[in-house]
A and B are shown apart, each in its own frame.
Chain A
Amino acid sequence: MQNLTIEATKRTPAIHFDFEKHQLSLAGESYPEDVNQFHGQVISALESYLAKTNNQAIQINFDLLYFNSSSAKALIRIFDMLDETAAHNKVSIHWMHEIDDDNIAELGEEFGEDLTNAHFQLVIKSSPEVSERVNE
């Protein structure tokens, strides 16, 4: 399956899904003009990839500075998909944020706390150490 790489724009994040290495990342800002058009393709690609992926260790990094509520809707959908696949794959989610960005950290935690199978971790960007918030 072909990797998905989309360059960042002012209003949309950079997407880099390396399906062979099972490493996925979203980075930048998200407030697209047409949410369905942008996130639709991201979710669609993710769906196809997860449908044929079993017993793998999947690493996904979210490095978002800002996202609007329509994007939040797409993100929660992605989190739900990841949690579902974590029943038969090992899923590790890293939610990156700047050390003083409580807003983004909090939003990430809210998504993360609903997870039952996937592993969620907050990661502070400015330091090499990892700030760990493991879900129960």
Chain B
Amino acid sequence: MLELSLTDINALNYLKENLDLMDLLQKTVSQLQSMLAKSVEGPSEFRYGLVVVDNRDGTHFVTCANLVDNSNVPQLKNTLDQIHNMDEAALKKLYKQMLRSDSPDRSKGAGVGFIDIARKATKFEYDFVEVSESSSYFSLTSYV
């Protein structure tokens, strides 16, 4: 399992001064790791992801991106579309529902990675760009 350690002391201190950003970053990395772990047996290009932390017009945001198999895009898009449309109350309800669900699929995780991000961020955007016959570039940006 991937472990993230921040060795840049300036970056670390910066995050400690911006706890909401640190929290969003933590959730994003966790979700990305979850996605990458699922493709660990597939083609190597699916095993890499990237995370960017930056500030635009005074607002912090976190972006994560990775390649996904085209066959997974519809379900992923559907899940994100649904989550994107939910208000705080609906998200909380779904979050707990997922936590309590016993689906065998969830042997390693809880399946709430995107919900976690959606609940923490003030807003989020995502995009899928087909880059080949078999893969698409998926990116997700969430704002503090």
* A contact set with B: CB distance below 8 Å: 33-36, 68-70, 72-73, 76-77, 80, 103, 110, 114
Query: Inside 8 A of A35's CB, which chain B residues have their CB?
Result: 108-109
Which of chain B's residues have a CB closer than 8 A to the CB of A103?
19, 23
Instruction: Select from chain A the residue with minimum beta-carbon distance to B31.
Output: A69
Inter-chain contact count A-B, CB under 8 Å? 34
Residues of A within 8 A of B96 (CB): 76, 110, 114
The interface size of chain B toward A, counting residues with CB under 8 Å, comes to 16
Q: CA A68 – CA B29 in complex, angstroms? A: 11
Secondary structure of the A contact surface, majority rule: helix
Question: Of residues 101 to 135 in B, which have CB atoms within 8 Å of A's CB atoms?
Answer: 106-110, 112-113, 116
Is B99 a contact partner of A72 (Cβ separation < 8 A)?
A: yes
Q: Which 9 residue pairs spanning A and B have beta carbons closest together?
A: A73-B110, A69-B110, A76-B99, A69-B112, A73-B99, A70-B110, A70-B109, A33-B1, A72-B99
Q: For B100, list chain A residues within 8 Å (CB).
A: 73, 76-77, 80
Q: Which residue of A lies closest to B100 (CB)?
A: A76
Q: State whether A69 touches B116 (Cβ < 8 A).
A: yes
For this complex, 10 residue pairs linking A to B, each with C-beta atoms less than 8 Å apart, are A34-B108, A35-B109, A36-B107, A69-B99, A69-B109, A72-B112, A73-B99, A73-B110, A76-B96, A114-B96
Interface flags, B1-33, vs A, CB<8A=1, else 0: 100000000000000000100010000001000
Q: Is B77 an interface residue (CB 8 A)?
A: no
A71 (CB) vs chain B CBs: closest residue: B110
- The chain B residue sitting closest to A76, CB to CB, is B99
* Proximity bits, B83-96, A CB within 8 Å = 1, else 0: 00000000010001
Residues on B with beta carbons closer than 8 Å to the beta carbon of A76: 96, 99-100
Closest to B1 in A: A33
